[in-house]
Structure 1
Amino acid sequence: MPVPPDPVLRAAARWLERLPASGAARLRALFTAHSEFSDITPIQYEAAYAWIQDTGLLDNLHSEVPARRRVFDSAIAHSSAPWLPDADLLVRTLDELPEDALRAAASLGLSEVEAFGQLSAVWGKVDTQERSRIGAAGELALVGLLEVSTNARVEHVAAWSDGFGYDIAVHAAQHSAHLEAKSTTRRGRLAVYLSRNEYETMRRDPEWELVAIRLASSLEPEAVATIPKEWIAAQAPADGGAHGRWESCRLDVPPDVPVPGIPRVAEALTGKASALLNGAAGWPG
Protein backbone atom coordinates (compact mmCIF):
# COMPACT_ATOMS: atom_id res chain seq x y z
CA MET A 1 0.00 0.00 0.00
CA PRO A 2 1.24 3.57 -0.61
CA VAL A 3 2.14 5.97 2.17
CA PRO A 4 -1.20 7.37 3.42
CA PRO A 5 -2.07 11.04 2.78
CA ASP A 6 -0.85 13.59 5.32
CA PRO A 7 -4.20 14.04 7.15
CA VAL A 8 -4.50 10.27 7.61
CA LEU A 9 -0.99 10.07 9.07
CA ARG A 10 -1.71 12.88 11.51
CA ALA A 11 -5.04 11.31 12.43
CA ALA A 12 -3.31 7.98 13.02
CA ALA A 13 -0.92 9.62 15.47
CA ARG A 14 -3.86 11.21 17.32
CA TRP A 15 -5.57 7.84 17.63
CA LEU A 16 -2.44 6.20 19.02
CA GLU A 17 -1.80 9.02 21.48
CA ARG A 18 -5.28 8.84 22.98
CA LEU A 19 -6.47 5.24 22.65
CA PRO A 20 -4.57 3.98 25.72
CA ALA A 21 -6.76 6.22 27.90
CA SER A 22 -10.04 6.33 25.95
CA GLY A 23 -12.21 3.98 23.94
CA ALA A 24 -12.60 4.28 20.19
CA ALA A 25 -16.27 5.37 20.42
CA ARG A 26 -15.45 8.22 22.80
CA LEU A 27 -12.59 9.38 20.61
CA ARG A 28 -14.79 9.34 17.51
CA ALA A 29 -17.16 11.69 19.27
CA LEU A 30 -14.28 13.90 20.39
CA PHE A 31 -12.70 14.08 16.95
CA THR A 32 -16.08 14.90 15.39
CA ALA A 33 -17.36 17.48 17.87
CA HIS A 34 -14.31 19.31 19.22
CA SER A 35 -13.01 22.24 17.18
CA GLU A 36 -9.41 21.41 18.14
CA PHE A 37 -9.57 18.34 15.88
CA SER A 38 -11.69 19.75 13.03
CA ASP A 39 -8.70 20.18 10.70
CA ILE A 40 -9.18 16.49 9.83
CA THR A 41 -12.50 15.16 8.55
CA PRO A 42 -14.42 12.26 10.15
CA ILE A 43 -13.79 10.20 7.00
CA GLN A 44 -10.05 10.76 7.34
CA TYR A 45 -10.17 9.76 11.02
CA GLU A 46 -11.96 6.55 10.06
CA ALA A 47 -9.45 5.87 7.30
CA ALA A 48 -6.64 6.36 9.83
CA TYR A 49 -8.26 3.97 12.31
CA ALA A 50 -8.65 1.30 9.62
CA TRP A 51 -5.01 1.83 8.61
CA ILE A 52 -3.58 1.45 12.12
CA GLN A 53 -5.71 -1.65 12.51
CA ASP A 54 -4.49 -3.15 9.23
CA THR A 55 -0.83 -2.42 10.00
CA GLY A 56 -0.96 -3.90 13.51
CA LEU A 57 -0.42 -0.64 15.39
CA LEU A 58 -3.47 -1.36 17.55
CA ASP A 59 -1.77 -4.47 18.91
CA ASN A 60 0.60 -2.51 21.16
CA LEU A 61 -1.10 0.67 22.32
CA HIS A 62 1.11 1.00 25.39
CA SER A 63 4.40 1.19 23.51
CA GLU A 64 6.89 3.71 24.90
CA VAL A 65 7.82 4.77 21.38
CA PRO A 66 6.17 8.12 20.53
CA ALA A 67 3.06 7.75 18.38
CA ARG A 68 4.38 9.84 15.51
CA ARG A 69 7.48 7.64 15.24
CA ARG A 70 5.40 4.49 15.24
CA VAL A 71 3.19 5.92 12.51
CA PHE A 72 6.20 6.91 10.40
CA ASP A 73 7.82 3.49 10.79
CA SER A 74 4.62 1.70 9.85
CA ALA A 75 3.95 4.01 6.90
CA ILE A 76 7.36 3.20 5.43
CA ALA A 77 7.42 -0.50 6.30
CA HIS A 78 3.98 -1.13 4.76
CA SER A 79 4.40 1.19 1.79
CA SER A 80 5.79 -1.37 -0.69
CA ALA A 81 8.04 1.44 -1.89
CA PRO A 82 10.29 0.15 -4.69
CA TRP A 83 13.35 1.76 -3.08
CA LEU A 84 12.88 0.18 0.37
CA PRO A 85 14.56 -3.24 -0.26
CA ASP A 86 17.75 -1.44 -1.35
CA ALA A 87 17.51 1.55 0.98
CA ASP A 88 20.92 0.70 2.45
CA LEU A 89 22.44 1.56 -0.94
CA LEU A 90 19.96 4.12 -2.26
CA VAL A 91 19.52 6.27 0.85
CA ARG A 92 22.95 6.92 2.35
CA THR A 93 22.64 10.65 3.07
CA LEU A 94 19.92 13.13 4.02
CA ASP A 95 19.90 14.43 0.45
CA GLU A 96 18.88 10.97 -0.80
CA LEU A 97 15.75 10.66 1.35
CA PRO A 98 12.84 9.74 -0.98
CA GLU A 99 9.98 12.19 -1.42
CA ASP A 100 7.37 9.91 0.17
CA ALA A 101 9.52 9.50 3.30
CA LEU A 102 10.13 13.26 3.48
CA ARG A 103 6.42 13.97 3.12
CA ALA A 104 5.48 11.50 5.83
CA ALA A 105 8.12 12.92 8.17
CA ALA A 106 6.99 16.51 7.60
CA SER A 107 3.33 15.66 8.22
CA LEU A 108 4.28 14.02 11.54
CA GLY A 109 6.63 16.77 12.68
CA LEU A 110 9.83 14.76 12.29
CA SER A 111 13.04 16.38 11.09
CA GLU A 112 15.04 15.04 8.17
CA VAL A 113 17.65 13.75 10.62
CA GLU A 114 14.98 11.90 12.60
CA ALA A 115 13.45 10.53 9.41
CA PHE A 116 16.83 9.27 8.21
CA GLY A 117 17.47 7.42 11.47
CA GLN A 118 13.98 5.95 11.54
CA LEU A 119 14.24 4.86 7.91
CA SER A 120 17.50 3.03 8.59
CA ALA A 121 15.88 1.18 11.48
CA VAL A 122 12.83 0.31 9.40
CA TRP A 123 14.98 -1.00 6.56
CA GLY A 124 16.99 -3.15 8.97
CA LYS A 125 13.85 -4.73 10.41
CA VAL A 126 12.20 -5.27 7.03
CA ASP A 127 15.42 -6.63 5.52
CA THR A 128 15.95 -9.08 8.38
CA GLN A 129 12.40 -10.40 8.14
CA GLU A 130 12.60 -10.70 4.36
CA ARG A 131 15.97 -12.46 4.46
CA SER A 132 14.57 -14.96 6.94
CA ARG A 133 11.55 -15.66 4.74
CA ILE A 134 13.51 -15.89 1.49
CA GLY A 135 16.30 -17.85 3.13
CA ALA A 136 13.96 -20.53 4.46
CA ALA A 137 12.26 -20.84 1.07
CA GLY A 138 15.60 -21.11 -0.71
CA GLU A 139 16.87 -23.86 1.56
CA LEU A 140 13.72 -25.92 1.00
CA ALA A 141 13.88 -25.31 -2.75
CA LEU A 142 17.50 -26.48 -2.90
CA VAL A 143 16.74 -29.58 -0.83
CA GLY A 144 13.90 -30.41 -3.21
CA LEU A 145 16.09 -29.95 -6.29
CA LEU A 146 18.82 -32.15 -4.86
CA GLU A 147 16.41 -34.90 -3.87
CA VAL A 148 14.90 -35.21 -7.37
CA SER A 149 18.11 -34.57 -9.34
CA THR A 150 20.71 -36.72 -7.59
CA ASN A 151 21.18 -40.27 -6.42
CA ALA A 152 22.65 -38.97 -3.15
CA ARG A 153 21.23 -38.91 0.35
CA VAL A 154 20.23 -35.36 1.21
CA GLU A 155 19.98 -34.06 4.77
CA HIS A 156 18.57 -30.65 5.65
CA VAL A 157 20.74 -30.33 8.76
CA ALA A 158 19.75 -26.69 9.40
CA ALA A 159 16.26 -27.95 10.17
CA TRP A 160 17.48 -29.30 13.51
CA SER A 161 20.60 -27.25 14.25
CA ASP A 162 22.27 -24.05 13.07
CA GLY A 163 25.63 -25.03 14.54
CA PHE A 164 26.99 -27.02 11.60
CA GLY A 165 28.15 -24.00 9.62
CA TYR A 166 26.17 -25.20 6.60
CA ASP A 167 22.53 -25.98 5.80
CA ILE A 168 22.47 -29.13 3.67
CA ALA A 169 24.58 -32.28 3.65
CA VAL A 170 24.77 -34.30 0.42
CA HIS A 171 26.08 -37.86 0.80
CA ALA A 172 27.02 -39.41 -2.55
CA ALA A 173 28.87 -42.62 -3.37
CA GLN A 174 32.13 -40.92 -4.32
CA HIS A 175 32.12 -37.82 -2.15
CA SER A 176 30.00 -35.57 0.03
CA ALA A 177 29.11 -31.90 -0.06
CA HIS A 178 28.24 -29.49 2.73
CA LEU A 179 26.17 -26.67 1.25
CA GLU A 180 25.52 -23.30 2.83
CA ALA A 181 22.48 -21.86 1.03
CA LYS A 182 21.95 -18.12 0.46
CA SER A 183 18.81 -16.99 -1.35
CA THR A 184 17.60 -13.87 -3.11
CA THR A 185 14.65 -12.68 -5.16
CA ARG A 186 16.45 -9.56 -6.39
CA ARG A 187 17.69 -8.96 -9.90
CA GLY A 188 21.01 -7.25 -10.34
CA ARG A 189 22.10 -7.61 -6.72
CA LEU A 190 23.32 -10.54 -4.65
CA ALA A 191 24.10 -9.69 -1.04
CA VAL A 192 25.35 -12.61 1.06
CA TYR A 193 25.41 -12.46 4.84
CA LEU A 194 28.07 -14.76 6.23
CA SER A 195 28.49 -15.67 9.89
CA ARG A 196 31.87 -16.24 11.48
CA ASN A 197 30.93 -19.86 12.10
CA GLU A 198 30.10 -20.36 8.41
CA TYR A 199 33.37 -18.73 7.38
CA GLU A 200 35.46 -20.81 9.77
CA THR A 201 33.66 -23.94 8.59
CA MET A 202 34.58 -23.04 5.01
CA ARG A 203 38.24 -22.70 5.98
CA ARG A 204 38.51 -26.11 7.65
CA ASP A 205 35.98 -28.17 5.66
CA PRO A 206 36.99 -29.04 2.06
CA GLU A 207 33.44 -30.24 1.34
CA TRP A 208 31.86 -26.85 2.19
CA GLU A 209 30.36 -24.78 -0.63
CA LEU A 210 28.39 -21.54 -0.66
CA VAL A 211 25.38 -21.94 -2.96
CA ALA A 212 23.27 -19.00 -4.13
CA ILE A 213 19.64 -19.62 -5.08
CA ARG A 214 17.68 -17.05 -7.03
CA LEU A 215 13.94 -17.36 -6.45
CA ALA A 216 11.03 -15.95 -8.42
CA SER A 217 8.46 -13.83 -6.60
CA SER A 218 6.47 -17.06 -6.25
CA LEU A 219 9.53 -18.50 -4.41
CA GLU A 220 10.13 -21.05 -7.15
CA PRO A 221 13.87 -21.53 -7.91
CA GLU A 222 15.07 -19.79 -11.08
CA ALA A 223 18.85 -20.19 -10.87
CA VAL A 224 21.50 -21.86 -8.73
CA ALA A 225 25.19 -20.99 -8.57
CA THR A 226 28.26 -21.54 -6.42
CA ILE A 227 30.34 -18.69 -4.99
CA PRO A 228 34.06 -19.64 -5.19
CA LYS A 229 35.69 -20.06 -1.80
CA GLU A 230 38.78 -18.19 -2.95
CA TRP A 231 36.67 -15.13 -3.69
CA ILE A 232 34.96 -15.33 -0.30
CA ALA A 233 38.29 -15.61 1.52
CA ALA A 234 39.61 -12.56 -0.33
CA GLN A 235 36.58 -10.44 0.59
CA ALA A 236 36.00 -11.46 4.21
CA PRO A 237 37.13 -8.92 6.84
CA ALA A 238 40.14 -9.46 9.06
CA ASP A 239 40.21 -9.11 12.84
CA GLY A 240 41.89 -5.83 13.67
CA GLY A 241 43.62 -6.87 16.87
CA ALA A 242 43.79 -9.29 19.76
CA HIS A 243 40.65 -7.81 21.35
CA GLY A 244 38.47 -7.43 18.27
CA ARG A 245 36.67 -10.12 16.30
CA TRP A 246 34.06 -9.89 13.54
CA GLU A 247 31.05 -12.17 13.92
CA SER A 248 29.16 -11.55 10.67
CA CYS A 249 29.69 -9.70 7.41
CA ARG A 250 27.89 -8.85 4.20
CA LEU A 251 29.44 -9.72 0.86
CA ASP A 252 28.10 -7.93 -2.22
CA VAL A 253 28.75 -10.45 -4.98
CA PRO A 254 29.42 -9.05 -8.48
CA PRO A 255 27.40 -10.72 -11.27
CA ASP A 256 30.48 -12.31 -12.86
CA VAL A 257 31.54 -14.16 -9.69
CA PRO A 258 28.87 -16.90 -9.27
CA VAL A 259 29.61 -20.17 -11.09
CA PRO A 260 26.33 -21.64 -12.48
CA GLY A 261 25.24 -24.90 -10.91
CA ILE A 262 26.95 -26.84 -8.13
CA PRO A 263 30.08 -28.50 -9.57
CA ARG A 264 30.70 -30.45 -6.38
CA VAL A 265 27.52 -32.50 -6.79
CA ALA A 266 27.98 -33.02 -10.55
CA GLU A 267 28.97 -36.69 -10.18
CA ALA A 268 25.81 -37.41 -8.22
CA LEU A 269 23.43 -35.89 -10.77
CA THR A 270 21.08 -38.30 -12.54
CA GLY A 271 20.07 -38.25 -16.18
CA LYS A 272 16.99 -36.20 -15.36
CA ALA A 273 18.89 -33.70 -13.27
CA SER A 274 17.59 -30.18 -13.06
CA ALA A 275 19.31 -27.72 -15.40
CA LEU A 276 19.61 -25.45 -12.36
CA LEU A 277 22.04 -27.84 -10.68
CA ASN A 278 24.21 -28.74 -13.66
CA GLY A 279 24.68 -25.11 -14.63
CA ALA A 280 22.83 -25.27 -17.93
CA ALA A 281 20.35 -22.64 -16.74
CA GLY A 282 23.15 -20.13 -16.10
CA TRP A 283 23.12 -17.38 -13.50
CA PRO A 284 21.40 -14.18 -14.66
CA GLY A 285 23.17 -11.13 -13.27
Structure 2
Amino acid sequence: MSHSEFGDITPTQYDSAYEWLCTTGLLEQPADTDLSASRIFEAAVLTGEPAWFRDADELVLSPDDLPEDALRAAGALGLDLETAFACVSHIWGKVDTAAREQAGHAGELALLELLQKNTTAEVVHVAAFSDGYGYDISVRNGNFEHHLEVKSTTRRGRITVFFSRNEYSTMMRDPSWRLVLVRLNLNMEITGLDEISRFWLKKHSPSDSSLNGRWESTRFSVSSDALQPGMPFASEYLTAQANPRVIELLTAS
Protein backbone atom coordinates (compact mmCIF):
# COMPACT_ATOMS: atom_id res chain seq x y z
CA MET A 1 0.00 0.00 0.00
CA SER A 2 1.15 3.53 -0.74
CA HIS A 3 0.93 6.39 1.72
CA SER A 4 -1.55 8.10 -0.61
CA GLU A 5 -4.13 5.42 0.25
CA PHE A 6 -4.25 6.80 3.81
CA GLY A 7 -4.68 10.42 2.77
CA ASP A 8 -8.28 10.59 4.00
CA ILE A 9 -7.40 9.46 7.54
CA THR A 10 -7.77 12.28 10.06
CA PRO A 11 -5.15 12.89 12.77
CA THR A 12 -7.71 11.74 15.37
CA GLN A 13 -8.28 8.47 13.51
CA TYR A 14 -4.55 7.96 13.17
CA ASP A 15 -3.98 8.60 16.89
CA SER A 16 -6.80 6.21 17.83
CA ALA A 17 -5.43 3.48 15.61
CA TYR A 18 -1.90 3.99 16.93
CA GLU A 19 -3.14 3.88 20.54
CA TRP A 20 -5.02 0.64 19.79
CA LEU A 21 -1.90 -0.93 18.30
CA CYS A 22 0.11 0.07 21.37
CA THR A 23 -2.53 -1.23 23.78
CA THR A 24 -2.70 -4.63 22.10
CA GLY A 25 1.08 -4.95 21.91
CA LEU A 26 0.95 -5.48 18.16
CA LEU A 27 3.75 -3.00 17.52
CA GLU A 28 6.07 -5.31 19.43
CA GLN A 29 5.36 -8.29 17.14
CA PRO A 30 7.81 -9.51 14.45
CA ALA A 31 7.31 -7.85 11.08
CA ASP A 32 6.14 -11.07 9.40
CA THR A 33 3.21 -10.41 7.06
CA ASP A 34 1.17 -13.55 7.76
CA LEU A 35 1.86 -13.53 11.50
CA SER A 36 1.02 -9.83 11.75
CA ALA A 37 -2.27 -10.30 9.91
CA SER A 38 -3.23 -13.18 12.23
CA ARG A 39 -2.25 -11.25 15.33
CA ILE A 40 -4.22 -8.20 14.18
CA PHE A 41 -7.26 -10.38 13.51
CA GLU A 42 -7.01 -12.04 16.93
CA ALA A 43 -6.56 -8.69 18.65
CA ALA A 44 -9.56 -7.26 16.80
CA VAL A 45 -11.78 -10.14 17.95
CA LEU A 46 -10.55 -9.94 21.54
CA THR A 47 -10.86 -6.17 21.92
CA GLY A 48 -14.10 -6.00 19.94
CA GLU A 49 -15.72 -8.55 22.29
CA PRO A 50 -18.39 -9.65 19.76
CA ALA A 51 -21.47 -11.28 21.28
CA TRP A 52 -20.80 -14.62 19.58
CA PHE A 53 -17.24 -15.03 20.90
CA ARG A 54 -18.23 -16.12 24.42
CA ASP A 55 -19.98 -19.19 22.95
CA ALA A 56 -17.66 -19.71 20.00
CA ASP A 57 -17.10 -23.34 21.00
CA GLU A 58 -20.78 -23.98 20.27
CA LEU A 59 -21.47 -21.43 17.53
CA VAL A 60 -18.30 -21.61 15.41
CA LEU A 61 -17.59 -25.29 14.76
CA SER A 62 -16.08 -24.86 11.28
CA PRO A 63 -14.86 -22.08 8.95
CA ASP A 64 -18.35 -21.96 7.44
CA ASP A 65 -19.75 -20.88 10.82
CA LEU A 66 -17.66 -17.71 11.08
CA PRO A 67 -19.95 -14.70 11.74
CA GLU A 68 -20.20 -11.87 9.24
CA ASP A 69 -18.10 -9.43 11.28
CA ALA A 70 -15.30 -11.98 11.53
CA LEU A 71 -15.48 -12.63 7.79
CA ARG A 72 -15.21 -8.91 7.04
CA ALA A 73 -12.20 -8.53 9.32
CA ALA A 74 -10.51 -11.59 7.84
CA GLY A 75 -11.15 -10.34 4.31
CA ALA A 76 -9.71 -6.91 5.11
CA LEU A 77 -6.55 -8.55 6.42
CA GLY A 78 -6.21 -11.01 3.56
CA LEU A 79 -6.81 -14.10 5.72
CA ASP A 80 -8.48 -17.18 4.26
CA LEU A 81 -11.32 -18.89 6.12
CA GLU A 82 -9.19 -21.72 7.51
CA THR A 83 -6.68 -19.28 9.00
CA ALA A 84 -9.42 -17.08 10.46
CA PHE A 85 -11.12 -20.13 11.98
CA ALA A 86 -7.80 -21.30 13.45
CA CYS A 87 -7.29 -17.85 14.98
CA VAL A 88 -10.74 -17.86 16.57
CA SER A 89 -10.18 -21.36 17.97
CA HIS A 90 -6.78 -20.35 19.32
CA ILE A 91 -7.85 -17.24 21.17
CA TRP A 92 -11.12 -18.77 22.42
CA GLY A 93 -9.16 -21.66 23.93
CA LYS A 94 -6.78 -19.29 25.72
CA VAL A 95 -9.55 -17.01 26.98
CA ASP A 96 -11.78 -19.91 28.06
CA THR A 97 -8.96 -21.66 29.91
CA ALA A 98 -8.02 -18.48 31.76
CA ALA A 99 -11.65 -17.72 32.63
CA ARG A 100 -12.26 -21.27 33.86
CA GLU A 101 -9.15 -21.19 36.02
CA GLN A 102 -10.13 -17.84 37.53
CA ALA A 103 -13.73 -18.88 38.20
CA GLY A 104 -12.66 -22.30 39.47
CA HIS A 105 -10.27 -20.90 42.04
CA ALA A 106 -12.70 -18.18 43.12
CA GLY A 107 -15.57 -20.64 43.43
CA GLU A 108 -13.60 -23.05 45.60
CA LEU A 109 -12.50 -20.29 47.97
CA ALA A 110 -15.95 -18.73 48.13
CA LEU A 111 -17.63 -22.06 48.96
CA LEU A 112 -14.91 -22.90 51.46
CA GLU A 113 -15.45 -19.62 53.30
CA LEU A 114 -19.23 -19.97 53.19
CA LEU A 115 -19.12 -23.44 54.79
CA GLN A 116 -16.45 -22.57 57.35
CA LYS A 117 -18.30 -19.48 58.59
CA ASN A 118 -21.84 -20.82 58.60
CA THR A 119 -21.71 -24.51 59.55
CA THR A 120 -20.51 -26.56 62.50
CA ALA A 121 -18.62 -28.92 60.20
CA GLU A 122 -14.86 -29.24 59.86
CA VAL A 123 -14.19 -27.90 56.37
CA VAL A 124 -10.80 -28.48 54.71
CA HIS A 125 -9.58 -27.26 51.32
CA VAL A 126 -7.73 -30.45 50.36
CA ALA A 127 -7.03 -29.17 46.83
CA ALA A 128 -4.65 -26.66 48.41
CA PHE A 129 -2.44 -29.60 49.42
CA SER A 130 -2.79 -31.86 46.38
CA ASP A 131 -4.87 -32.25 43.23
CA GLY A 132 -4.74 -36.02 43.54
CA TYR A 133 -7.70 -36.46 45.89
CA GLY A 134 -10.30 -36.33 43.14
CA TYR A 135 -12.21 -33.64 45.03
CA ASP A 136 -11.53 -30.13 46.36
CA ILE A 137 -13.16 -29.75 49.77
CA SER A 138 -13.84 -32.21 52.60
CA VAL A 139 -16.74 -31.55 54.98
CA ARG A 140 -16.84 -33.58 58.19
CA ASN A 141 -19.40 -33.39 60.96
CA GLY A 142 -19.45 -36.19 63.52
CA ASN A 143 -19.74 -39.51 61.70
CA PHE A 144 -20.70 -37.86 58.41
CA GLU A 145 -18.21 -36.84 55.76
CA HIS A 146 -18.70 -35.36 52.30
CA HIS A 147 -16.10 -34.90 49.58
CA LEU A 148 -16.92 -31.99 47.30
CA GLU A 149 -15.62 -31.60 43.79
CA VAL A 150 -16.32 -27.95 42.93
CA LYS A 151 -17.08 -26.64 39.45
CA SER A 152 -17.72 -22.92 39.04
CA THR A 153 -19.29 -20.81 36.32
CA THR A 154 -20.14 -17.18 35.62
CA ARG A 155 -22.45 -18.14 32.77
CA ARG A 156 -26.19 -17.70 33.07
CA GLY A 157 -27.20 -19.97 30.20
CA ARG A 158 -25.77 -23.35 29.38
CA ILE A 159 -23.64 -25.11 31.95
CA THR A 160 -20.39 -26.70 30.81
CA VAL A 161 -18.08 -28.59 33.16
CA PHE A 162 -14.78 -30.35 32.53
CA PHE A 163 -14.22 -33.69 34.23
CA SER A 164 -10.94 -35.55 34.70
CA ARG A 165 -10.42 -39.30 34.80
CA ASN A 166 -9.26 -39.03 38.39
CA GLU A 167 -12.47 -37.23 39.37
CA TYR A 168 -14.51 -39.87 37.58
CA SER A 169 -12.64 -42.74 39.27
CA THR A 170 -13.08 -41.07 42.67
CA MET A 171 -16.81 -40.65 42.05
CA MET A 172 -17.14 -44.34 41.16
CA ARG A 173 -15.46 -45.65 44.31
CA ASP A 174 -16.30 -42.96 46.90
CA PRO A 175 -19.95 -42.82 48.12
CA SER A 176 -19.18 -39.54 49.94
CA TRP A 177 -18.19 -37.78 46.71
CA ARG A 178 -20.42 -34.99 45.40
CA LEU A 179 -20.17 -32.62 42.45
CA VAL A 180 -21.15 -29.08 43.40
CA LEU A 181 -21.79 -26.32 40.88
CA VAL A 182 -21.02 -22.83 42.20
CA ARG A 183 -22.67 -20.01 40.27
CA LEU A 184 -20.75 -16.73 40.42
CA ASN A 185 -21.41 -13.19 39.34
CA LEU A 186 -18.72 -11.12 37.62
CA ASN A 187 -17.46 -10.02 41.04
CA MET A 188 -16.82 -13.71 41.82
CA GLU A 189 -19.54 -13.78 44.48
CA ILE A 190 -21.77 -16.83 44.92
CA THR A 191 -25.25 -16.35 43.46
CA GLY A 192 -26.38 -19.98 43.46
CA LEU A 193 -25.45 -23.55 44.33
CA ASP A 194 -26.47 -26.84 42.71
CA GLU A 195 -25.51 -30.47 43.03
CA ILE A 196 -24.95 -32.31 39.75
CA SER A 197 -26.35 -35.82 39.83
CA ARG A 198 -23.70 -38.52 39.93
CA PHE A 199 -26.16 -40.85 38.19
CA TRP A 200 -26.45 -38.38 35.32
CA LEU A 201 -22.64 -38.17 35.16
CA LYS A 202 -22.31 -41.96 35.07
CA LYS A 203 -24.90 -42.18 32.31
CA HIS A 204 -23.19 -39.60 30.11
CA SER A 205 -19.52 -40.35 30.82
CA PRO A 206 -17.49 -41.75 27.91
CA SER A 207 -16.23 -45.30 28.01
CA ASP A 208 -12.94 -46.81 26.84
CA SER A 209 -13.53 -48.85 23.70
CA SER A 210 -10.40 -51.00 24.08
CA LEU A 211 -7.37 -51.59 26.26
CA ASN A 212 -5.33 -49.55 23.77
CA GLY A 213 -7.22 -46.31 24.40
CA ARG A 214 -8.24 -44.47 27.56
CA TRP A 215 -9.98 -41.14 27.98
CA GLU A 216 -8.37 -38.74 30.46
CA SER A 217 -10.74 -35.76 30.40
CA THR A 218 -14.15 -34.91 29.05
CA ARG A 219 -16.55 -32.00 28.80
CA PHE A 220 -20.19 -32.17 29.85
CA SER A 221 -22.99 -29.89 28.73
CA VAL A 222 -25.10 -30.30 31.85
CA SER A 223 -28.85 -30.44 31.33
CA SER A 224 -31.30 -28.95 33.82
CA ASP A 225 -32.57 -32.38 34.89
CA ALA A 226 -29.09 -33.17 36.28
CA LEU A 227 -29.19 -30.23 38.71
CA GLN A 228 -30.53 -30.29 42.25
CA PRO A 229 -30.74 -26.72 43.63
CA GLY A 230 -28.92 -25.98 46.86
CA MET A 231 -26.81 -28.25 49.07
CA PRO A 232 -29.36 -29.85 51.43
CA PHE A 233 -26.80 -32.03 53.23
CA ALA A 234 -24.83 -28.94 54.34
CA SER A 235 -27.94 -27.17 55.55
CA GLU A 236 -28.15 -29.80 58.31
CA TYR A 237 -24.94 -28.37 59.84
CA LEU A 238 -25.91 -24.68 59.86
CA THR A 239 -24.98 -22.67 62.93
CA ALA A 240 -27.57 -20.69 64.83
CA GLN A 241 -25.90 -17.50 63.58
CA ALA A 242 -25.81 -18.56 59.92
CA ASN A 243 -26.25 -15.76 57.42
CA PRO A 244 -29.83 -15.71 56.04
CA ARG A 245 -28.47 -15.44 52.49
CA VAL A 246 -26.35 -18.56 53.07
CA ILE A 247 -29.38 -20.44 54.40
CA GLU A 248 -31.22 -19.44 51.23
CA LEU A 249 -28.35 -20.66 49.01
CA LEU A 250 -27.99 -24.02 50.77
CA THR A 251 -31.69 -24.80 50.99
CA ALA A 252 -32.57 -23.15 47.64
CA SER A 253 -35.59 -21.62 49.34
Alignment of 1:18-29 (within 5 A): none
Does residue 1:229 correspond to 2:195, yes or no? Answer: no
Structure 2 counterpart of 1:137 = 106
Structure 1 residues 265, 106: closer, same or farther in 2, change over 3 A? same
Count how many residue pairs are aligned between Structure 1 and Structure 2. 247
Structure 1 residues 107, 71: closer, same or farther in 2, change over 3 A? same
- Distance in 2 between the 1:38 and 1:47 partners? 19
Does residue 1:216 correspond to 2:185, yes or no? Answer: yes
Structure 2 counterpart of 1:280 = 252
Alignment of 1:20-169 (within 5 A): 36-40=2-6, 41=9, 43=11, 44-58=13-27, 61=30, 66-169=35-138
AA in 1 matched with 2:3:
F
AA in 1 matched with 2:91:
V
- Distance in 1 between the 2:156 and 2:175 partners? 30
Structure 1 contact 222–276 (Cα < 8 Å) conserved: no
Structure 2 contact 30–36 (Cα < 8 Å) conserved: no
Structure 2 contact 235–251 (Cα < 8 Å) conserved: no
Instruction: Could you tell me which runs of 5 or more consecutive residues in structure 1 were left unpaired when the two chains were aligned.
Output: 1-34
1:250 corresponds to which of 210, 219, 232: 219
SS in 2 for 1:78: helix
1:262 corresponds to which of 200, 220, 231: 231
- Distance in 2 between the 1:279 and 1:189 partners? 22
Structure 1 residues 144, 48: closer, same or farther in 2, change over 3 A? same
Structure 2 contact 141–237 (Cα < 8 Å) conserved: yes
Deviation at 1:184, TM superposition (A): 0.8
Structure 2 counterpart of 1:14 = none
AA in 2 matched with 1:87:
A
- Distance in 1 between the 2:34 and 2:251 partners? 50
Structure 2 contact 153–184 (Cα < 8 Å) conserved: yes
Structure 2 contact 29–36 (Cα < 8 Å) conserved: no
TM-score normalized by the length of structure 1: 0.80
Aligned-residue sequence identity (percent) comes to: 46
SS in 2 for 1:197: helix
- Distance in 2 between the 1:191 and 1:261 partners? 18
- Distance in 2 between the 1:65 and 1:166 partners? 44
Does residue 1:171 correspond to 2:140, yes or no? Answer: yes
Instruction: Detail structure 1 runs of 4+ shifted over 6 Å in the superposition.
Output: 62-65
AA in 2 matched with 1:199:
Y
Deviation at 1:65, TM superposition (A): 7.1
Deviation at 1:168, TM superposition (A): 0.9
Deviation at 1:277, TM superposition (A): 4.4
Instruction: Could you tell me which runs of 5 or more consecutive residues in structure 2 were left unpaired when the two chains were aligned.
Output: none
Q: Render the CA deviation track for 1:170-197: whole Å, top value 9, x for unaligned.
A: 1212311111111111112110100111
Per mean C-alpha deviation after superposition, the further-off stretch among 142-151 and 61-70 is: 61-70
